[in-house]
Amino acid sequence: MRHWRKFERMRRREERRAEARGERETMGAWGHFDRWRSPYRLYRDTEHGRVAGVCAGIADYIGVRRRMVRIAAILGLVFFFVPTILVYLALSFLLPKKPPELYGSAEEEVFWRGVRTAPDDSLKALARTFAELEERLARMETAVISADFDLHRKFRDIGG
């Protein structure tokens, strides 16, 4: 328990130093995880939004077209005006704006969208990728530990 507290103090101290230097914590594949800039959090997408970006943020979060969410919101306004307008206003005040640098690349954005909408498929894709890497590593190990590899290396050392 004491080591954990020491680790937390060191982490907080490093965060304060980075903040003082003007560095922002990013959500990279190997970087630190900032829970307030999470790629699977619901945001208001003001860049693609019409009014406050709530419908665009919901569409991005659940992985559907923005037009479909807007149609659902309009239908909600027609049939349930007061609850729909209250929920929309509450979400427009409570949801944070989507950070501009939320994803490191377009590939990372596609990955996190897949994690949100179909986590099982994303997990299967990751398992497939790791299986392919494991096969490549096994082939490399076989080539390196073979007698031919050592023989080729000796001939290369003699000739060069």
Phi, psi of 25 (to 5 degrees): -75, 130
CA-to-CA separations, 66 to 73, 88, 114, 157, in angstroms, rounded: 11, 15, 17, 63
- What sign has the CA pseudo-torsion 31, 36, 37, 38? positive
Q: What stretches of the chain show up as alpha helix (H) in DSSP?
A: 2-20, 54-62, 66-79, 81-94, 106-117, 119-145, 147-159
* Mean pLDDT within 8-19: 69
CA distances (Å), origin 140, targets 71, 143, 147, 157? 54, 5, 13, 21
pLDDT, greater one: 109 or 70: 70
Q: Which of 40, 10, 37 is nearest to 26 (CA)?
A: 37
Can you give the length of the chain in residues? Answer: 160
Q: Tokens for 109?
A: 């954005």
pLDDT tens, residue by residue, 87-145:
999 988 888 888 777 777 777 777 777 777 777 888 888 889 999 999 999 988 887 78
